[in-house]
Amino acid sequence: MAATILPTPQRVSAQDGRFVLAAGVAITFESDLALLADYLQEYLPQSRVAYAPPLGRAAVVSLTIDRTLSGEAYRLEVRPDGIVIAGGGYGGVFNGIQTLLQLLPPEVYNGRLELPVAIACRTIEDAPRFSYRGQHLDVARTWMDAAQVKRYINLLSHHKINKLHFHLTDDEGWRVFIGSHPELALVGGFRGGDSPIREIYGKFGEKYGGYYTQEELRDIVAYAAVRNVEVIPEIDLPGHSLAIARVHPEILCPYTPDTSASNGYDERNVWCVSREENYALLEDILAEVCAIFPSPYFHIGGDEVATAQWKHCPHCSALAHPQEHFTERIIEILARHGKRPAVWNEAVASGRLSRETRVHAWEGMEAPFKATTQGYPTIVMPGQYFYFDMRQSPHEDGHNWAAIFDAKKVYSFDFSAFSPAQMQRIEGVEGAFWSELGVSHLPGLTDYVDYMLFPRVCALAELGWNGGGRPWEESLRALEAHYDRMRAMGIFFRPMEPEVVYREGKLVAASEALNPGRRLTPAVRITTSMPVGAKTPASGAEQYRAALRTTRTCLAGDWVLFTFAQPLAFHEIFLKTGYVQVPRLCIDEGYVEVTYDGTRFERIGELENGWLRFGPSGRPIRAIRVVATCQDNGGSSVIVQPLEIS
């Protein structure tokens, strides 16, 4: 089962027996965990939060702290009499809850979970490889309102992502309301129309934009905190500052730019680093933003500074290192407000900035190599693996300057390229979502962002949790088993491209996992002793398309028979009852037989969690029969998946 929890837990040990999660189950908690008890209760609406352990032998899900574990580590025990989630801290308990949700049917994510649910007993001991598992969101180019941002926080948190890098300002918009300078958001939050910021990126002929009030931002922060997500704000400085420069042109270097190519429009977007008043304005801005976000870090940008603007400046041109000069001043301001700086890798190019500075290394593999060698705490995010604004195949939408790649490539990221000393500097990984192209896709809908983020975020989550290195086939299986969960979460995700093969005069498209290059789909008839639902007939499984579902539970002696039209030679057959991702609605106990002559059956193995994977025994087989030995599977039907034959 372990393979289907995403990200993969470190250790899972199966035990005998099962726990039946039934309506009325009590959630008990240690005092610091009240928020999490309420959180879990939202996913288990038929449960009740109990302020004291219930008397007697009532079943409980209990949330506790175990100080011997590290903060985000947890131990999840499913025992016959209840479930215990022990975390090193709040984050650990949260992570344990996410794993528990994944042990339940996907409907747990859309409010349609039906109880009771039987969960096989096991102990999961788990902890993340990296403390920083982040996703960046650019809300400057495409405006996303607070509800959209919260939705992403929630989706990320289900994948144990624990940082949101919130890119709040850029050339195209200023998205945070600053009380001491309201014009920044009121004017600078919009482009086109009567705004001094001209229209761009798929939004033409209308005024476009938006900003967050400080109340909304505090609400986002609190919502994220419940979900173990730290929100790290970014005000991108000293470049990428066109929006604020159009509202306050006096922050630019004092020279008259040549605007003949831009119809008189001043396109300069870099702060003058020599103008003293700029630091007072920045102090006003940063002080307010620091107060909103409790994160110990503040991202101050530093990327892609158009340094030519300083060369034209009578003052800045005299400075040997204008960007460092500026960054050091900003770091001083942040320090006064109790924050440490984070920057894009360009800002530490010379290596002279303090080693307190966290570096987001995006410019190829060289960037994280260099930053870690220099001794900076580093977030690994080279564009060709982590820029989820890149297109996923040549014919899809997205940028392509860093690479064209899908989730498979994200999974393939190889940390062994770093030395042990470098690894010590790596705090974790981050995906980036830059949104220049988002506005062309109905920005009020989240479909485009969903499509670009998922399932690449799933791969990011796996890398951040485990450091990667698993065989692709295993990751793909776990990912495809996760599709139903993403569907239930309402994610408009991009499935992995199917593999297309030419077979028996037809082009056949199939998932790569179901068809690792050599999947067989021999003609088969499926019959069973149990009544089959009209909407879930045997024909779907016979065509290897959909699962069969009965209309009652299984009793001892019930059987399912797969009869092949031709004797079948094979390498491996994966026979699965129950949901793809959880051992529920399966034939809990039973055995599997095959026949070589069509009449005499030989027993070849027992079901485990409703599954059996078996190899050939020399002769082609004519039929497979599964026979139940259990009375009742705790549900109201039995699911039989199409055979996976290679």
Judged by the rule CB under 6 A, the positions of this chain that interact with ligand TNX are 303-304, 344, 362, 387, 389, 399, 434, 436
121/365 with CB nearer ligand TNX: 365
85/176 with CB nearer ligand TNX: 176
Q: Min. distance of Cβ 381 from ligand TNX in angstroms? A: 9
Q: Taking CA 601 as the corner, what is the angle to CA 596 and CA 603, rounded to the nearest 5 degrees?
A: 110
Residue pair 284/181 in contact by the 8 Å Cβ criterion: yes
| Radius of gyration, CA atoms only, the chain | 28
Long-range Cβ pairs for the range 540-549 (8 Å, 24+): 540/642, 541/640, 541/641, 541/642, 541/643, 542/642, 543/642, 544/510, 544/514, 544/642, 544/643, 545/642, 546/642, 547/639, 547/640, 547/641, 547/642, 548/639, 548/640, 549/585, 549/637, 549/638, 549/639, 549/640
Closest CA to 360 of 191, 522, 236: 236
- Cis amide bond preceding 455, omega within 30: yes
The CA dihedral of 403, 191, 289, 285, to the nearest 10 degrees, is: 120
389/542 with CB nearer ligand TNX: 389
Tell me how far the alpha carbon of residue 5 is from its chain's centroid.
13
528 C-beta neighbours (distance < 10 Å), count: 19
Long-range Cβ pairs for the range 312-315 (8 Å, 24+): 312/253, 312/255, 312/257, 313/253, 313/254, 313/255, 313/272, 313/274, 314/254, 314/255, 315/253, 315/254, 315/272, 315/274, 315/275
Closest CA to 52 of 81, 23, 80, 31: 31
Q: Min. distance of Cβ 128 from ligand TNX in angstroms? A: 25
152/387 with CB nearer ligand TNX: 387
62 C-beta neighbours (distance < 10 Å), count: 19
169/295 with CB nearer ligand TNX: 169
Q: Min. distance of Cβ 236 from ligand TNX in angstroms? A: 8
Q: Min. distance of Cβ 211 from ligand TNX in angstroms? A: 19
The Cα 268–Cα 260 span in angstroms is 13
165/181 with CB nearer ligand TNX: 165
284/303 with CB nearer ligand TNX: 303
With the C-alpha atoms ordered 521, 527, 528, 533, is the resulting torsion angle positive or negative? Answer: positive
399/409 with CB nearer ligand TNX: 399
Q: Min. distance of Cβ 405 from ligand TNX in angstroms? A: 13
State the pairing for strand pair 74-79/190-191. Answer: unpaired
371/645 with CB nearer ligand TNX: 371
- The 3-state DSSP class for residue 353 equals coil
340/399 with CB nearer ligand TNX: 399
Q: Min. distance of Cβ 350 from ligand TNX in angstroms? A: 18
Q: Min. distance of Cβ 304 from ligand TNX in angstroms? A: 5
- The 3-state DSSP class for residue 34 equals helix
Residue pair 367/415 in contact by the 8 Å Cβ criterion: no
Q: Min. distance of Cβ 306 from ligand TNX in angstroms? A: 12
Closest CA to 632 of 564, 540, 555, 536: 555
The Cα 369–Cα 579 span in angstroms is 43
126/389 with CB nearer ligand TNX: 389
Return the DSSP state at 482.
Answer: H
Q: Min. distance of Cβ 241 from ligand TNX in angstroms? A: 12
Q: Min. distance of Cβ 342 from ligand TNX in angstroms? A: 12
283/436 with CB nearer ligand TNX: 436
Q: Min. distance of Cβ 367 from ligand TNX in angstroms? A: 10
Q: Min. distance of Cβ 387 from ligand TNX in angstroms? A: 6
Closest CA to 130 of 73, 76, 64: 73
94/387 with CB nearer ligand TNX: 387
Residue pair 422/373 in contact by the 8 Å Cβ criterion: yes
Q: Min. distance of Cβ 303 from ligand TNX in angstroms? A: 3
Closest CA to 369 of 385, 382, 352: 382
